[in-house]
Amino acid sequence: MNTSTLLSAQFTKSLKHFGEEEGRMQPDEFFGIFDTFLQSFSEARQDLENMQRRKDEEERRSRMEAMRNRKRSVPQLAEGGGRERAATKVNY
């Protein structure tokens, strides 16, 4: 069996596997469908990765902001801004 006949047989087998009728679709059209699908799939995957990256960055920013707010409230307590009083040394 020569290469051309082998390729033609494999293409026909592929058409049947995917529910296409033999002779109704040319190889460039058939494989073009897969190319379009794979490109769309890659774009969707990239979009998901970008969304996850933005979500992670937003969570990181929120944690950093919460830490900054906590640090701002701690000096107020030390300066007497809170209800606690500074400890005094007691001699017995």
Q: How many CA atoms lie within 13 A of 10 on its CB side?
A: 7
C-beta separation of 80 from 86 below 8 A:
yes
Query: Does residue 44 or residue 77 have the better pLDDT?
Result: 44
pLDDT of residue 84: 59
* Long-range interactions of 75-83: CB distance < 8 A, separation 24+: none
Q: Where are the domains of the chain?
A: 14-77
- DSSP tally for the chain: helices H, then strands E: 2, 0
> Above 80 in pLDDT, residue 89?
no
The phi and psi torsions of 82 (rounded to 5 degrees) equal -100, -170
pLDDT tens-digit map of 43-75: 999 999 999 999 999 999 999 999 888 888 766
Of 5 and 75, more confident: 5
Contacts of 77 (CB under 8 A, 6+ apart): 84
